Each structure stands twice: as C-alpha cells, then as structure tokens.
C-alpha cells in the first residue's frame, strides 16, 4: 500500500465515510492514476480536466458516475493533499432527476412468495419490511432483532448513523423460522455466509441481489428488481397508507426531508387525490358530444 493510499484511507475513515464510499473512492483514484501512469501527487488541474473529458466523451459514462469520480478526486486533493480546488474549472455534470420505480403491493407479495428458499424469503421480507439498504441488511446481527420492543436496530447506516425501525410480526415469525432452519445457530450474523450459511462472516452484498433476481424470474415480473427497489416500495407503500413524510424520513435514515419527498411523485394515493384543472372547465365541445 502506498503512503498516499494509506493517507486517503485514514482521512476517509476519520470522517466516517461508509465502507461502500471508501471502496468506490479508492477505486476511482486507482483508475485515475493508471490512466496517466503517474502518482496523483504529480498531477494537477489540467490532468483532472482532461480526465473528466475522457470519462464523458470517450467512455460515455453516466453523469452520476462522472460526478462520483470527480468527488473522489476532489476528496483526494482537498482533504488528503490539502490543495485548492476550483469548482468553476471542473464543473460537475448535471445529473438527470429520475423518479424511483416501485412495485405494487400485489407484485411484492408475488415476489416474496416466489423466493426459491426460506433463506432468500427472509432476506426479501427483511428488505421490504424495514426499508434497509443492502449494506445495512448484510450487517444485521441476531441481537439487533428486539422482539420485546418490536424494533430492528440498524447499525452504521449512511453517515455511520444507527437507527431503529419497526419489526413486523410476520417478519419476526419468518426470521425465527429462518434461524431454526440453519445448520448451525449463528452467534452473530442474522444472515450468515460461508458454506451452508454456517460461517462466522455475513453474506456478501451479492446475495440480496441474487435473491431479488431469482424471485422476480420465478414470479414473472419483467421489471428489474433489486434490493433498493424494495426500499422504494417500503417508503411508497407507507406513504400511500397515510404515514407522514417525517416518520418515513426517520425510518429510511435520510438526512434531508427533500430526499424523502421524492416519494410523493410516485405515490398513487397522493397523485389520485388531486384533480386536474381540466376537470373544472366547462368545455362546449364536450357538451356537444354528450
């Protein structure tokens, strides 16, 4: 490990960046160094601008991906190397604003019922019942399931913040059944990895993806189903059931209410409760048709 990599890692960890962000930032800097075949310490603004043009023009990367690479470079130069950074000379690309896609409650039920094993069904139900992120799911521990208070304790969410979410009685029943069905009672992880799920390590981040993909195929759902989609479903269905935005924000672990407000745009209940201004017009052309 180079000294620069070690310094950047220490700075990221000191500022409580998530493991996912740390991995992506380090990988972005490694690619940047390989592109110029030189240490980033010997590169400057001209190279950064040239690299940004390469990512957009040659590699045709999405705006979100380019913005993430620039964020990693900015962290390296500003926080680690203590250099200045002029945002006007390296503007972030405009990110397209896309609404999250969601499944109906009937589709979610079909997805869960189509799981190919109790292990996968427990994963799918936990994702939907709690709205946890994939990274949070794999780190859940048996001790995080509090049946007395009927809450699930989520450790180290985004920004390294803990939070509690409600524990569904149906989920509790399935989790108990899931734990009884394991070859060896887990000492720590709710979803243990390793051979036959008996290892002392959690499942990999790929397992929830596989659970979603296999169940979607078996259920005949033609949409792209992934763990974060079930998080969107959790929030949207809560909103449609009348839960207020502030509560949903806390359950999701969002820093800003603005992040949570996006679900107003996909909630069928909220959209259908508003009449179009067209319906208040007295149109002679429509009267003639009647």
Query: Which residues have a catalytic role annotated?
Result: 133, 158, 228, 231, 254, 263
CA distance 273 to 6: 54
User: How many CA atoms does the CB half-sphere of 23 hold within 13 Å?
Assistant: 4
CA distance 186 to 144: 13
CA distance 290 to 278: 17
- Per DSSP, the residues of 159-173 read TS--EEEE--HHHHH
CA distance 12 to 18: 8
- Asked if residue 174 lies in contact with residue 117, where contact means CB atoms within 8 angstroms, the answer is no
How distant, in Å, are the alpha carbons of 9, 30, 47, 66, 178 from that of 139? 21, 27, 39, 29, 16
């Amino acid at each position: 490990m180079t000294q620069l990599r070690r310094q950047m890692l220490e700075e990221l960890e000191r500022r409580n960046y998530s493991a996912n962000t740390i991995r992506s930032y380090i990988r972005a800097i490694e690619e940047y160094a390989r592109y110029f075949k030189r240490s980033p310490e010997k590169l400057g603004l001209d190279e950064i601008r040239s690299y940004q043009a390469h990512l957009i023009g040659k590699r045709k990367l999405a705006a979100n991906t380019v913005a993430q690479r620039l964020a990693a470079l900015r962290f390296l130069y500003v926080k680690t190397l203590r250099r200045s950074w002029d945002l006007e000379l390296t503007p972030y690309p405009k990110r397209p604003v896309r609404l999250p896609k969601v499944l109906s409650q009937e589709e979610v039920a079909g997805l869960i019922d189509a799981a190919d094993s109790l292990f996968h069904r427990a994963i799918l139900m936990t994702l939907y019942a709690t709205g946890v992120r994939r990274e949070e799911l794999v780190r859940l521990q048996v001790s995080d399931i509090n049946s007395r208070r009927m809450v699930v304790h989520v450790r180290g969410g985004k920004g390294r913040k803990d939070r509690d979410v409600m524990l569904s009685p149906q989920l509790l029943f399935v989790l108990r059944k899931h734990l009884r069905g394991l070859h060896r009672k887990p000492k720590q992880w709710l979803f243990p990895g390793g051979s036959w799920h008996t290892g002392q390590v959690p499942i990999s981040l790929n397992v929830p993806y596989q659970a979603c993909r296999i169940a979607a195929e078996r259920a005949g759902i033609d949409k792209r189903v992934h763990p974060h989609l079930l998080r969107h479903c959790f929030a949207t269905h809560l909103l449609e059931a009348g839960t207020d935005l502030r509560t949903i924000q806390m359950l999701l672990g969002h820093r800003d209410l603005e992040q949570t407000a996006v679900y107003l745009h996909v909630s069928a209940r909220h959209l259908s409760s508003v009449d179009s201004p067209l319906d208040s017009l007295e149109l002679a052309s429509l009267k003639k048709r009647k």
